[in-house]
Structure formats: C-alpha cells, structure tokens
Amino acid sequence: STRTVQKAISADQMMVGKIVHELAAAGDWQTLADMEGEALQTALSIKDAWPREAAFIYDKLGISFEKLGQVSKAIELLQNVLAIHDDLGDQVGRANVCTNLGLCHSDLGHHLKAIKLFHQAMAIYELMHNRAGQAIVC
C-alpha cells in the first residue's frame, strides 16, 4: 500500500527525490549532476520500496550526464532505469529509456545501436497508441 511505502522512505530520501524533480523540471543539469552521490544513494535505498521514483532519479541523472557530455556515465545510469522498467513491466517507461539510450549511443557515433534502440521505442509507442512518444522518436 502507499502508506507502507511512504513509511519505508525517510524524510531525507523524500527531500532528495523532490529536489531531483525540481532540478530536472528546471533543466538544471549541472546541479543535478553535482548531487549525483546523494541522489544515487537515495535511488538505491528506495529501489525496492519505491521503484518508479528510483527509476526517475536514475533517469534524470542519466539525462544530466548526457547533456553535460559524459555520455558513458549516462548510459550506465540509463541501463539501471531500463532494468527497473523491465521489472515493473512498464512498457512506456522502457520506450522512453530506449529513446534516451538511443540519443546517447548516437552521441558516441554508435549509430546502428541507436537505430535499434529507436526502433524498440517506436514499436512500443505504436503498440500503446502513444502518438507523443512516436513523435519524439521520429
């Protein structure tokens, strides 16, 4: 239940999650990357009790490192997000991460890998009739 999950998460962990949300919404990628250690510790500690929030933290950290040119680090973080979405059976989440991973691999010049990831994302978006997701991948 939600109450059990909320009790399992400390106030500090909730605050870190809130800060990550706010920094990502503001596009403050450098500040988000600077708090990597604390954010990753929080994501790891809440992963079992609150996997979607952990996935969000990993995802936003991954995007921040991609934006800052640390693409290998971004891929590492996004692979964690992919595993969480797979465990949850969250296909739209998986498609979103495949899109972000595709962008990272494209940045590294791994164009065939990027295309494969974009195709995976597109297939999921088409199956889910998610026009917004399809538009992003195109």
- The model's pLDDT over 93-110, given as tens digits with 9 standing for 90+, comes to 999 999 999 999 999 999
Model confidence at 113, pLDDT cuts 50, 70, 90, reads very high
Model pTM? Answer: 0.84
- Cα separation, 20 vs 107, whole angstroms: 24
Q: Would the pLDDT of 6 be above 70?
A: no
Contact 65, 104 (CB under 8 A): no
